């Protein structure tokens, strides 16, 4: 196959694709966001709010924003944070996997987002001592 290599999103490997110029992918990273929520597999986890830490890394082309310095040419970080906040502070669910999947799905719906990785962590009292129980998922636009 003729063409240049490009990053294939999520796997850190390059593939041949004639329309792209290189393997570089631009990223926006929101790290260490903290929200309160009532999620867990045990009913006691729903009784009192717990702290959830969320990291979101998204792939997007930042070249236009780098040239223009205009918010409309990038992904608005505050929108991504608002998505994570709404999911964590919203409807209770049992699994961290569900929270991460919902954040990823809504983030992928934003214009310009090509792929997203989401990490959701909490420190469950029932598992002490533990720094965190966490899930990390990656999704790409279909």
The answer to whether the beta carbons of residues 76 and 56 sit under 8 Å apart is no
Please identify which of the residues 85, 94, 114, 122 carries the catalytic annotation: 122
Over its C-alpha atoms, the chain yields an Rg (Å, rounded) of 17
Q: Which residues pair with 134 in a beta bridge?
A: 121
Output the six-digit token pair for 21: 């110029």
Strand-pair partners of 138: 117
Question: Is 94 in the active site?
Answer: no
Active site residues: 122
């Amino acid at each position: 196959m003729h063409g240049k290599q490009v990053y294939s999103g999520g796997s850190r490997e390059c593939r041949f694709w004639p329309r792209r110029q290189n393997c570089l992918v631009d990223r926006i990273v929101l790290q260490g966001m903290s929200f309160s929520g009532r999620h867990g597999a045990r009913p006691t986890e729903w009784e009192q709010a717990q702290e959830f830490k969320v990291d979101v890394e998204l792939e997007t082309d930042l070249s236009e924003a780098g040239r223009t310095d205009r918010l409309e040419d990038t992904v608005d970080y505050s929108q991504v944070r608002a998505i994570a906040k709404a999911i964590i502070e919203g409807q209770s669910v049992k699994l961290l996997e569900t929270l991460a999947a919902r954040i990823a799905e809504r983030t992928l719906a934003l214009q310009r987002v090509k792929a997203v990785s989401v990490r959701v962590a909490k420190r469950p009292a029932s598992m002490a001592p533990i720094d965190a129980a966490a899930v990390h998922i990656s999704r790409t636009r279909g």
